[in-house]
Amino acid sequence: MTNTANTITIFYLNKQQRKKGYRIVTKKNLLKEIEHKREELNQIVHKNGMSSPITIQYSQELDKMLYEYQQHFLPANPVCYQ
């Protein structure tokens, strides 16, 4: 994965098709995708419950997106102010 201040390139392997690929994502677009996934997850939870397989799948997808954001757009050593 490569990045600049506001853009990252995410490399991935499509497990079903066994093909490698990548996508370029801006910080703003990734935040929009995270918010959309969060809304989808809330709808899935209300429809299927907290422990359904589809809920777990959406939750794991959201976790991956949040991890990507943390790794690429948050400072490694945040400054804490008191």
Q: Residue 35: inside a domain, yes or no?
A: yes
Q: Which structural domain, as residue segments, surrounds residue 18?
A: 2-73
Give 65's contacts (C-beta < 8 A, 6+ positions apart): 30, 33, 34, 37
The total number of residues written for the chain in this structure: 82
Domain tally, the chain? 1
What digits encode the pLDDT tens for the residues 25-82?
888 889 999 999 999 999 999 999 999 999 999 999 999 999 988 888 887 766 666 6
Q: State both tokens at 33.
A: 């995708």
Q: What is the pLDDT of residue 1?
A: 47
Q: What is the CATH number of the domain that holds 12?
A: 4.10.280
For residue range 4-27, what is the model confidence (pLDDT) as tens digits?
A: 567 766 655 455 545 566 777 888
pTM of the full predicted structure?
0.71
In-domain check, residue 80? no
